[in-house]
Amino acid sequence: MTNTLHRFGEPETFRDDFVIFGMAAQGINNKDAKQKLIKFYHMAMKHKPVNIGNHHGSLYRTSENLSPLVHWHRVDEGDPEAVLNSIDDKSAQMAVVFDTAEKLEAFLIELKEADLGLSVNISSLTDMARLCCKNAGIVRHSVGYSMGFHGDLSLLPDKHVLELSTMCGHGMVSNNFAKKMIDLVKEGRRTPKEAAHCLSRFCVCGVFNPAKAERILEEVRKGE
């Protein structure tokens, strides 16, 4: 489950990228996780996450019966109700993405007070996570570090593509599709926001950060 560990980028590119998981452990506390995850969801939504989801899907979803009119006008502001309704008796985790450390910290304070009993993990810059934990009165329990990419690095695409595609650690956002979105934005055929939402729909567990994607696409558009 290292689906958020190896996001590509230099430290400064993670200033708007904070993923939090609420998770029950298989065979220990997963049997009664549904109500805790529902509470986790409602607490998270108060802090305006940029994405949220579980293994059934994220805020941004595909449609099985899309109207052809979407080719001329497509509005996708996310479907939080679909995420809530997908929490079932088998659910054991939920992922939330925030774009500021302030939101993360405020959420952590609430989580500590709520004492849900779920394991809570923060995927971000480790120093930032530790600071937010400290400010919330939490001492971190364990840390998993990303030690980067190794082997034949010539197999990898350029850094902007990787910054986008590695935001879905399960690999559902393909490098070629990220490149296509970059090209569409550079050619003025899609806005960064439209392209970011389009990419988000491919990540099935809600850890893709559309706000960060929009920022990257805007920077690429301007040639920054």
Partner 1 sequence: MEIDSKKCVGCGNCVPVCPMGAIYVDTATNRSTVNQDACVECYTCSRAMSKERLNPPLLRMIRGVLKMLRLRFEPEPDVCPTGAHTPQELTWPRIVRRAFSDPQVPHESTGVTGRGTEEVKTNDLTNRVKEGEVGFTIEFGRPGVGVHFKDIQKMIYALVPLPVTFEKKNPVYTLFSDPVKGTIREDVMNEKLLSAILELKTTIAHAPEVLRVVKEVAPTLNTIITIGAATRCDAKGDNKLEPLFIREGYNVFRGKTNAGLGRRSVTPAA
Question: What residues contact residue 136 under an 8 Å CB cut-off, 6+ apart?
Answer: 105, 108, 109, 111, 112
Nearest to 173 by CA among 136, 138, 217, 134: 217
Q: Which is nearer to partner 1, 89 or 145 (CB)?
A: 145
Inter-residue contact 52 to 41 (CB < 8 Å): yes
Yes or no: say if 209 and 52 are a contact pair by the CB < 8 Å rule: no
**Whole-number minimum distance, CB 186 to partner 1, in Å?**
14
8 binds partner 1 (CB under 8 A): yes
**How near is the Cβ of 141 to partner 1 at its closest, in Å?**
3
Select 50 or 95, whichever has its Cβ closest to partner 1: 95
Residue list 12-31, contact with partner 1 (CB under 8 A): 14, 21, 23-29
Q: Looking only at residues 46 through 75 of this chain, which bind partner 1 when binding is defined by CB under 8 A?
A: 55-56, 62-68, 70-71, 74
Q: Please, are residues 37 and 136 in contact by the beta-carbon 8 Å criterion? A: no
* CA separation for the pair 123, 144 (Å, rounded): 9
Which residues, 185 to 214, sit near partner 1 by CB under 8 A? 189-190, 198, 201-202, 204-205
Enumerate residues 109-148 that contact partner 1 by CB under 8 A: 111-112, 114-127, 129-130, 133-134, 138-148
The structure tokens 């990228």 sit at: 17
